[in-house]
Structure 1
Amino acid sequence: MSTSVKAIVLSKIKFRDNDLIISCYTQHRGLSSYLIRGAFKSRRPGTIAYYQLLSQLEIVETYKPNQSLHYIKEVKSSFVYKTLHTNVIKSSIVLFLAEVLANVLKEEEQNILLFDYLETALQWLDSETSYANFHLLFLLKLTKHLGFYPDMTQTEVGVFNLQSGYFEANSKHIYAVSLGNNLILKQLLDINFDALNRVKLNADQRQAFLNMLMQYFELHLGYFKKPKSLQIFNEVFK
């Protein structure tokens, strides 16, 4: 059965000599993988370019429920990025976030709110010139869709506990965050991307908060592994 769907590319790997396997997050079915035969020898302009990480596509797929790999009959961009793949810093963000998303998005079921979030956030990043803290807010907001967004009922009374997901009075707990990270977390909670320029962080603060977020993901997603690109990514933002 052929169906037209929107998709965001999460990962890609060369298969055999000329084929490509891509993993996408789709609007209608969540995670889905595709085999693109002859991708590296196709004479059609831009065939490989369509499948850059986090590209937003509209595809016509051939889907068979009992198969792990499906096929793409037609492809075009649903949104054409202007800077995301050409700006060196933004490209580093794309590489890092794509690795995180490929790690955490496992469900093969529709989640329109999550898809819309990814689509809108990436378009915002593409259009902005001030985005040093984008990845921090992106990951924090992502936890809302993954089911472990920090509880905000007691933000004024204590320190955030990574294990419980609550703000608590006990600042000596093994999973209590540092006071610096606690302050940044309170600044980022419940703001939108357009308010990010009000959050002023230096490179050390940014790196410490990102490392805290990675620990938070590890505690709440048993299968989560720190991205291989994390160290390189931190170097870029020094």
Structure 2
Amino acid sequence: MVVATRAIVFSALKYSEADLIVCCYTAVSGIKSYLLRGILKSKKGKVKASYFQPLTQLELIAEHKNKGTLEYIKEAKVCYPFQTLHTDIVKTGLVMFLSEMLKNCIREEEANEELYGFLEHAFQWLDQTDEVANFHIFFLLQLSMHLGFYPDASNIDEAYFNIVEGNFQALSTSNYCLEGPQIENFKKFFTVNIETLHTVKLSKKARQNLLELILAYYSFHVQGYQKPKSLAVLMQLFS
């Protein structure tokens, strides 16, 4: 079946001498993997290797057989040319980290219009702003909403956050209940939106601790979660 769809690149892996295996999140079919034969040697054609940098937003004409095998891209073009996302060193680190997290967390081969729209808007916003320090924290918290495990903030004034239950509570009921400055900083991200994100002021150490908290939260709620290899690079950029 030939489909026309928007797509966001999650990863591109070299396969053999001149091929790429590309993982994309598509608007019409969710996660899809494509085999691009000869693309690393070909200088002609409608599909170019440069299109498949992480988080690039594309318009594809693709053939989907939907048999669990690698699919085929017939045509591709960039639908939103990023200006800074692949050239600014800090944003490049964020792109590596977030694309790895997305590939780790999203596996469904079905359309999710709200999730796709969220990703599309978030990365266009990141491309356009200079205020990037808190973006990955905010992004992962909002992503958890689309993945179905957004924390219950109905008792957000309580001192403890239970990372297994995903709620705030007055008393510690297990070793997975945390309190202190890390949790107070976490609470700040429930009261801002992407436009007011810059108003959350954190030290570098506090931001690192908060990222560790969110990744621990993901580890309990994402089946088969794997610690991102790019985390070390991100920590260096923000240290």
What is the TM-score normalised by the length of structure 2? 0.96
2:213 corresponding residue in structure 1: 212
Q: Within 1, Cα distance between the matches of 2:197 and 2:191?
A: 11
Q: Deviations over 1:127-185 (max 9, x none)?
A: 00111010000001000011110101111133211011110111473112231121112
Between 222-231 and 117-126, report the one with greater CA deviation: 222-231
Matches within 5 A, 1:106-125: 106-125=107-126
Instruction: Work out whether 1:22 is the aligned partner of 2:22.
Output: yes
SS of 2:10 mapped into structure 1: strand
Instruction: Determine if contact 2:158/2:168 at 8 Å carries over to the other structure.
Output: yes
In structure 2, relative to structure 1, the CA distance for the partners of 1:126 and 1:150 (3 Å cut) is: same
Q: Within 2, Cα distance between the matches of 1:228 and 1:188?
A: 25
SS of 1:117 mapped into structure 2: helix
* CA RMSD across the alignment: 1.4
1:7 corresponding residue in structure 2: 7
Shift of 1:196: 0.6
What is the TM-score normalised by the length of structure 1? 0.96
SS of 2:201 mapped into structure 1: coil
1:173 corresponding residue in structure 2: 174
SS of 1:194 mapped into structure 2: coil
1:237 corresponding residue in structure 2: 238
2:44 corresponding residue in structure 1: 44
Letter in 2 for 1:32: K
SS of 2:32 mapped into structure 1: strand
Letter in 1 for 2:15: F
Between 162-171 and 137-146, report the one with greater CA deviation: 162-171
> How many correspondences in the alignment?
238
Shift of 1:57: 0.4
Q: Within 2, Cα distance between the matches of 1:233 and 1:114?
A: 24
Instruction: Determine if contact 2:159/2:180 at 8 Å carries over to the other structure.
Output: no
Matches within 5 A, 1:1-238: 1-44=1-44, 47-171=48-172, 173-238=174-239
Q: Within 2, Cα distance between the matches of 1:91 and 1:157?
A: 37
- 4+ long deviations beyond 2 Å: none
Q: Within 2, Cα distance between the matches of 1:56 and 1:62?
A: 18
Q: Within 2, Cα distance between the matches of 1:200 and 1:101?
A: 26
Q: Within 1, Cα distance between the matches of 2:147 and 2:203?
A: 28
Q: Within 1, Cα distance between the matches of 2:69 and 2:181?
A: 45
Letter in 2 for 1:29: S
SS of 1:10 mapped into structure 2: strand
SS of 1:107 mapped into structure 2: coil
Q: Deviations over 1:62-120 (max 9, x none)?
A: 11122421111100011110000010110000000011111011111111100100000
In structure 2, relative to structure 1, the CA distance for the partners of 1:168 and 1:82 (3 Å cut) is: same
Structure 1 residues not aligned, in runs of 5+: none
Q: Deviations over 1:5-49 (max 9, x none)?
A: 000000111111111000000111110011111110111388111
SS of 2:25 mapped into structure 1: strand
- Could you tell me the percent identity over the aligned residues? 40
Q: Within 1, Cα distance between the matches of 2:158 and 2:211?
A: 23
Q: Within 2, Cα distance between the matches of 1:80 and 1:156?
A: 42
Letter in 2 for 1:192: N
Instruction: Determine if contact 2:104/2:225 at 8 Å carries over to the other structure.
Output: yes
